[in-house]
Amino acid sequence: MSKIIVTGRFGHQARGLWHLTKISWGVLARRMLGQPLVPTWSAVFEIGTLFYREQFNHAFSLGDMAEARAYFDAVYTVVDANLPVSMHATGGADTPHQPKGHWIRPLMTLPADCPTVLYLHGGGYAFYAKVTQHFMQSLSHALQLPLFALDYRLTPEHPYPAQLDDAISAYRYLLAQGMAPQKIVIAGDSAGGQLVLNMLVRLQELSLPQPAIGIALSPWTDSGLRGASQFGNDVYDMVQGYQTQLFSRWLKAGTPYTDRDVSPIYRQFKDTAPVYLQAGGKEILVDMIRDFAHELKQQGATVLLDVWPHMTHEFHAYGGTLPESRAAIARIKTSIAWSQQSASSTFPAIEETEVSQLSEPVPDLCSA
């Protein structure tokens, strides 16, 4: 059942709840007049999109990152507050030898041959939001797979390549625990999607084995300026074009790195693991995601792109409450199942799927 979570400072809570109330009434009033922002959107999806946009914009206006993070976490919504998963922290005083993060596991006995997901969260490398942590729990439940959510170092306190170093260290740790690379799936959203892609290239440079597949949801493929959608879709998306430029400056701050150094669109993927991409047609990053997919096709890499034309950045977080989100998560499951099959199975070179409903059976990722 959907729920509003309220926590932290009273002032942050009050402002967040006021934003949610004001936006909700505004959306409902416009819809009574036949003026939805996008005709295919539900009222709940429109309210959620505008609410998180307002929350991000106010967080950016605060100046202090600790306060911005606390404010963003003060009020958020979840699609299911009682997911049947466990969540265990690692990398603290009790487990200093382990990477910092959380193991998330379904509350059921899983076969030993299940793939494991190494998940890299979004948030522009600067936020690790509570709502994102909830999404990772819902993803573990939906996939019925164990998921390690890496708590990598954030910007602007820790610029590039701290995040990439942390991700590689986590992957090395999984390998050291005896996990076969073909049973590891690396996935992430937004900036975490960028980190997934950069990680595949870095593993190749280090002569480390590739995972079964890299899955990037609404990935930030170019930290520079690319495509009309980066600012042209501001009216629809919860994240805004100006924010990508701030995130980019924080990522490179005080380092000699350029956009070409940190952006996966300038890297070679011909011999990396297969790449599966998802995007929303109304998100600010969709043009650069399409450019990235076509670049990989030109390189001869194995890549698949699915685009839901009326969706925004990270629409997946709506889980089972939104047909497009259900279809996207089912396609993630299908891509993982493909990665576990024989090398002779077919993975399409590139495709744009414009569907809101799932039209194929959803596989079981673990054999009994």
Catalytic residue among 190, 218, 229, 263: 190
274 with 268: CB under 8 angstroms? no
Task: List alpha helices for the chain, DSSP H.
Answer: 10-32, 43-61, 65-74, 130-143, 162-176, 191-205, 229-232, 241-252, 259-262, 286-299, 323-339
| 213-217 and 184-189 strand pairing | parallel
Q: How far is CA 356 from the centre of its chain?
A: 19
The residue to which tokens 């402002």 are assigned:
15
Active site residue 283: yes
* Distance separating alpha carbons of residues 180 and 354, to the nearest angstrom: 34
- Which residues share a beta bridge with 104? 87, 147
Token code pair at residue 66: 């600790």
* Distance separating alpha carbons of residues 190 and 259, to the nearest angstrom: 16
Q: What is the DSSP string of 141-173?
A: HHHT--EEEE----TTTS-TTHHHHHHHHHHHH
Active site residue 190: yes
Active site residue 88: no
* Distance separating alpha carbons of residues 311 and 41, to the nearest angstrom: 8
Closest CA to 137 of 128, 127, 146, 124: 146
Instruction: Report residue 26: phi and psi, to 5°.
Output: -65, -45
Catalytic residue among 313, 314, 316, 325: 313
Closest CA to 124 of 277, 282, 243: 243
* Distance separating alpha carbons of residues 18 and 72, to the nearest angstrom: 14
Mutual angle of helices 241-252 and 43-61, in 10-degree steps: 40
* Distance separating alpha carbons of residues 331 and 272, to the nearest angstrom: 21
- Which residues share a beta bridge with 75? 6
Residue 235, classed as helix, strand or coil, is: coil
Catalytic residue among 54, 102, 141, 283: 283
Catalytic site residues? Answer: 190, 283, 313
